[in-house]
A and B are shown apart, each in its own frame.
Chain A
Amino acid sequence: MWRRLLRVTGFPAALVAATALALPTVASVPRARVQDYAGEMQLYLGGGDNSDLADLIARAAAIRALAAQCNGMDCPQLLTCEEAQRLEADLYNLRALLEEQNRWLRQANDDAFQHFRNLSGQEHQTSVQMVRAIHSLGLQRFFHDLSKSIMDVTDLASAYKTLSQGDLAKNWGKLVENVDKFEKAVGKIEKTLDLADEGTGAQIYGQAYNEGWKAVKKEGAAATGVSPETQGLIRDGAGQLLKAVNKYRDALAKADGDRLTAAGRAFWNSGLKNPDGPAKFLNETEALRADVLKWVQKLGVEVSARLIAETEAYLADLNKNLGAEGVARGAAFLELQKFQNRRFQSEDALAAVDAALSEFAGCMALATCPRGTRVPLLSTLPDFVRTLPDGTRVGSWGWALQRIHAEIEALRAGLTPPGVKDLCGPKDDRALLMLGDPFAGQFLRLATDGTVWCTFRDGNPTPAGDDPRDGPPDGDDPRDAPPAGDDPRDAAPPPGGDDPRDKGPCDRIVELRIELTRLARIRSDGGASQAERDRARDEMHWNEQELLALVPLCPRNGGDPRDGPDAGDDPRDAPGPIGDDPRDKGPCEELAELRAARDKLLKDAASTALTDADRAAARLRTALVDSEILQLEKRCPRDDDPRDATAGGGDPRDGGGEDDPRDRPVDIFVKASTASLERGAQVRDEIAGQQIKLFPASTRDVALPGPGVAKPQADAGLGPIQGVTDRNGGLRLKATPRELGLISTPFLRVLDRNGGAAFEVNVDTTRQDSKNLIVPGASTKDATAGLSVDLRRYLTSAVQIGENAYLTFSFSKIEEEKLGKLLAGYDPKLIETNWCRTKEPRAPQSEADGARIPPGEELPGARISLAGAGR
């Protein structure tokens, strides 16, 4: 629409030249800007309602509520940590995406506003042009009418003079007729001047007449080409002519009664000879004719009718355009409103997601879920710079918003609150770290095979329909029975010797704090690029998570007799993140203060409009305070802790030495999750024979080697914590909390409540598959850029080998059909199965195993029939 409007009819050049009036042209409208906007809108393809963001806000609010509930628990357990990590990563990515979306929406909003202004300006210009055209028309008509009337008068005056000098009797009739015409012509001049003087024109051009006359008076020759003398003559002459007309009329009236009498003739003669009489005016009027002719010529009276017609047509065009422009302007206004509303909604969504993430991070810390390892999604997005036809490179909000919207949509659906329960609540079987429910302990890493890699091992099929959960509902769940079998590791002694964790965490904390300070500087550095700031933000997030996880491992002075670094060596002896060092006071007093400080931090963070850097700092401070609280809880006797008033039993953390609960082996029961069992017989087949490993603390996040780097050997002689699930997906493992690194408060509380009993871990039996796509002659960047958003979600790696790019997609078997559809557009010859591979070991003396072939066949050979050959 707007493009059509740009074809506004130009003001006729001839007219402009003729009237010498300056008129505006559309050339002053910033067209390029308007064109960019249209291109962006075509890319954007958005503008629907904001129900998606409303839904996102609702989901974020639900997660925040859940997390708040979690944060109020003594021993929260998230189901599962893997899910929590995914959710945290999704929230984190959503926050980054929303920040990015808001940035682009602001730009879109600015452009929409500019577009609206442009259209309004266009409309305004058309209006101005219209007004000026009207003025021009009025002026033209004014001067046209006036000059035409004066010309008429002068013509009549000449005619009258000729007639009156001839035979009066003979010309009498013509004289009378001429006087009538004279009267009308003069009356017309009079009327024209009256309109101009009094501004009483009720018609559309009245004002223009008025302004025209004012312009004549004000601007004089400069504007109209009419000299002041001529103007005076027009006015004075018109008056005199009127007087003359009146006199003629009187004379005629008399003469009419005494036609051609002597008296009448004398009167005429006297009148004509009277120096002040009609003759004078006739003469002057005749003299005026020369001036008027010049004036009329100058104004183009000869073509004035055509000019006026052109002007009228132009005016009609302008009027029409004005209507269309009004419509376009209205549409632009609505678009602007949409962008504004979406931006407001998106900012609300950002606040909601941010709040959910903050709350949820606290919950994860309290539930001792380890940090996730997902790659920040934002880093995979393009820079959204496009090149216009003229070569100009512009940030494309249309592209950005379309893409970011798709990314947000992809994450939104999975944004559901995870399950959480309080393990310190009333004891019942399901309140334990339950088998079948996933366990999510701090630093506990569980590995199962078959989820990402290859297929499940053969064996242990469960007959169809034989659902082990179909047993009596009164707790006789076959999963509850500890799996049989002698595990030689059950009797494994608790590990002794040096604890490899004594050195690492505290050093790492110092490194992380230094790194966070550096990253915060980058984030607030106006000289840093956006990409650098984004990277810094991503790194800060993960560093914060790592710091949060490490702080409990670097206990305070006197907190843990095992560790006890020298006072001067404790990196946390520096003032804490919230000002005064609370450790100068008693532990319970500090605990209360820290809890109050944490509440205040959360409140401030939620209520104050903070920058990204501020928010990141607030999150860090909160996390650090949380970790301090966890530490202090160990030192504050439960009797002194008002929150523990209803808790029964002693705190296992109060013990130590030989009875240290951290060294008491505990059973960890692995069971197939209820969800796995509910998926049917096939899955039940898969839950049997699952390899399960728990990674001891000494094998997790081990520092890279280097010259002089210590090589802790504390538990090097111990075996793995590993096993295979039975036909029901169950498995019992045995380990001490210390070797698992599960020495945090919630875990020990659970130990206490359960008397060191069972824990549950989940077995994810979702079968996985993988495909490779070969993209000939492409770089990995080009190859991945060409993927749809849906397909890109399955992309797990991309590598360039020679001239070709190889993309790998991993997916759950249940998504196989979906992936097949997504890959349908590619040449099937370029898609291959990403085959499974496995190590090739055997038991030490395995000669008897394996296939044998008959003696002699070790030689390569062939069978051939010579009889088949003709002789």
Chain B
Amino acid sequence: MIAALRLAAAAWLLLAAQPAAALDPPGDPHYRATGSWKQPYPDQWGMHRIGLTADARSAWHRLPAGAAPVIVAMIDTGLDWNHLDIAWENLWKNPGEIPDNGRDDDGNGFVDDLIGWNFYENSNKPWDHDGHGTFTAGIVAATWNNGAGIAGINPMARIMVLKALNSFGNSRASFLARAIVYAADNGARVINLSVGGKELSAMEIAAVRHAVSKNCVVVVAAGNDGVSVDDFGMAGMPEVITVGAAGPDDKRAAFSNYGKAVDLLAPGVDILSLRARRTDTLLDIPGGQYGAGAAFVGGDNRYYRAAGTSFAAPFVTGVASLLISANPSLTAAQVRRMLTSTARDVGAPGVDQFSGYGMVDAAAALAADPTRFVEAAIHGVELATTARGPGVRVLGSVGADRLAEAFVEIGRGESPTQWTRVLAGLAPTENGELGVIGADAFRGAPVWTLRLTVVGAGGMQREARFRLSLE
């Protein structure tokens, strides 16, 4: 008996000591191909760009064997579930519902909601007549290794199909709010909202906060208006992860909204995904020069190219779901922190209002220790009067699981080459005063850049910058 226990313990120790079993990258044709429409980059360049590569460094290799399925709610125009690249296995199956018995078996208020719900027509068939929802779902969960088409980010994702946009991709806040509540109440861990709109309703705020309270990661597209997204619809809410779009050159797409609310960038230009049967989602985009069928890809027209923050958001959604698949016990806050703290800094150094924390990086995020974090943010400045005269009070956040050092420097102009440390020894602060810089420090130039640097005990560091114009 004791020997048997020792044997079992030894086996467990042996397993525990082994590196996580790798998940081999998919072999789907478009994932492996380049130039299918004569472009100089891989067909699914976005996957490769965020670390979901086909080589040994692939983020997928970091996914442990036995990674858990994770429910991802796609609140969109529905899904063409008959698409060859959508497998039954990748759909959420409501465990409490008996199909087609005409009853609300699980008592959630929806009858026969097997894979989700169609809030638009109030039915259990969230079919996609527009194509937008199928496209976003394909980025997250297109079937792997079926010999055709593309691969999704997370083969463990289980798509909860919530049709809350109509057959043209339009909706109202109430439909989205109801879908968010449905997702949160029915087990979704990640909610994708590739939806925009300027004003914000109390109903949406309540729905998002309800979802966050249920440990859901809510990912929202920043929008394609090329304007500041601060205080701009759900994308402006601090509770969500707001995602802007970048092209293959890692630059923010010009159409992608910007602002302090933007958290991450993700691939959002020339993205390849699934085309829902008999749809062409770009046909009704106002002002575009798009010709019908121009974005169809492949001999069978089952695939499609498009751009937009709508398609950047699912990349973050997919990576978030990978993190939860790898470690289902992660909280939504931890997922958010892992995504932002590991983002690859692009554009202006540090956190900026074009790229937020930077381009999402699946490999880095999966490698991150959820307990480790370093945070740096300058939220604003204000005029201050001290005993030594006027100055500039710097407001922001400093945080780290083990803080080693935090300081503020200033430099002349918008891209300083030399920095002067003006505040040092900063303590952890959450959206508070970091210190006051005397007015004398700003002599000699009309524009200054402030740089906050936070260093963790392990050397991990993050910086945030802020532009100060003097009048």
Contact = CB atoms under 8 A, between A and B. Distances in A.
Interface of A: 373, 375, 447, 449, 452-454, 457-459, 487-489, 539, 691, 693, 695-696, 698-699, 701-702, 704-707, 709, 711-713, 715-722, 724, 770, 772, 774, 796-797, 799-802, 804, 806, 808, 832-853, 855-871
Contacts, number: 351
A722 B470 contact: no
A452 B166 contact: yes
Nearest to A809: B174
Contact of A705 (B81, B169, B253, B301): B81
A839 B281 contact: yes
Contact of A837 (B172, B225, B278, B352): B172
Contact of B221 (A459, A804, A840): A840
Contact of B124 (A699, A704, A774): A704
Contacts of B135: 841
Contact of B467 (A489, A711, A856): A856
Nearest to A858: B354
Given A716-B83, A718-B301, A869-B384, 14 more contacts: A453-B166, A488-B291, A489-B292, A699-B80, A702-B127, A706-B99, A799-B178, A834-B172, A838-B171, A841-B311, A842-B306, A858-B352, A866-B383, A866-B439
A760 to B, nearest CB: 21
A838 B169 contact: yes
B170 A850 contact: no
A844 B278 contact: no
Interface centre among A802, A840, A843 (most CB of B within 10 A): A840
Interface centre among A712, A716, A721 (most CB of B within 10 A): A716
Contact of B280 (A454, A720, A848, A856): A720
A860 B466 CA distance: 5
Given A801-B210, A843-B306, A860-B466, A722 B253 contact: no
Interface of A is mostly: loop
A405 B310 CA distance: 49
Contact of A858 (B203, B277, B309, B347): B347
Given A715-B277, A838-B196, A858-B352, A449 B115 contact: no
A487 B293 CA distance: 10
A779 B256 CA distance: 40
A800 B251 CA distance: 42
A840 B310 contact: yes
A850 B254 CA distance: 5
Contact of A860 (B77, B227, B260): B260
Contact of A833 (B167, B201, B224, B283): B201
Contacts of A832: 201-203
A716 B85 CA distance: 12
B471 A863 contact: yes
Interface stretch (B26-34, B60-68, B385-393, B400-408): B385-393
A808 B389 CA distance: 56
B471 A860 contact: no
B279 A720 contact: yes
B307 interface: yes
B283 A720 contact: yes
Contact of A838 (B84, B115, B195, B292): B195
Interface residues of B, number: 130
A707 B83 CA distance: 14
B102 A844 contact: no
B278 A841 contact: no
Contacts of A837: 165, 170-173, 175-176, 195-197, 233
B172 A802 contact: no
B241 to A, nearest CB: 15
Contacts of A696: 278
A771 to B, nearest CB: 9
A836 B389 contact: no
Contact of B302 (A717, A849, A864): A717
Contacts of A711: 81-84
B307 A862 contact: no
Interface in B325-358: 347-348, 352-355
Interface centre among B172, B194, B280, B281 (most CB of A within 10 A): B172
Given A721-B278, A804-B206, A850-B226, A843 B177 contact: no
A693 B384 CA distance: 60
B111 to A, nearest CB: 11
Contact of A834 (B173, B271, B301, B305): B173
The 4 lowest CB-CB distance pairs between A and B, nearest first, are A869-B390, A850-B255, A851-B226, A861-B467
Contacts of A858: 252, 258, 347-348, 352-355
A716 B277 contact: yes
B340 to A, nearest CB: 16
A691 B204 CA distance: 27
Interface centre among A452, A454, A833, A861 (most CB of B within 10 A): A861
Contacts of B194: 839-840
B250 interface: no
Contacts of B224: 840-842, 846, 850
A846 B248 CA distance: 12
Nearest to B290: A843
Contacts of A718: 277-278, 301
Nearest to B298: A717
Contacts of B225: 850-851
B197 A459 contact: no
A859 B352 CA distance: 5
Given A699-B278, A845-B307, A864 B206 contact: no
B189 interface: no
Contacts of A713: 82, 84
A847 B390 CA distance: 44
Contacts of A539: 102
Contacts of B368: none
A802 B210 contact: yes
A841 B269 contact: no
Given A705-B91, A834-B201, A857-B467, A843 B295 contact: yes
A868 B439 CA distance: 11
12 contacts: A699-B277, A704-B125, A706-B114, A716-B302, A720-B283, A722-B292, A802-B210, A834-B172, A838-B196, A844-B305, A858-B355, A870-B385
A865 B201 contact: no
A850 B177 contact: no
Interface in B447-471: 449, 465-471
Contact of B254 (A702, A724, A852): A852
B203 A772 contact: yes
A698 B277 CA distance: 8
B132 interface: yes
A850 B268 CA distance: 14
A859 B271 CA distance: 27
A693 B99 contact: no
A842 B308 contact: yes
Interface centre among A712, A719, A847 (most CB of B within 10 A): A847
A648 B282 CA distance: 45
Contacts of A862: 380-381, 466-469
B35 interface: no
Nearest to B193: A837
Contacts of B308: 840-842, 846
Nearest to B209: A802
A806 B203 contact: yes
A840 B196 contact: yes
B300 interface: yes
B263 interface: no
A712 B82 contact: yes
A701 B125 contact: yes
B285 interface: yes
A803 B309 CA distance: 33
Nearest to A447: B167
B378 A860 contact: yes
A861 B195 contact: no
B116 to A, nearest CB: 10
A845 B249 CA distance: 12
A451 B13 CA distance: 64
Contacts of B124: 704
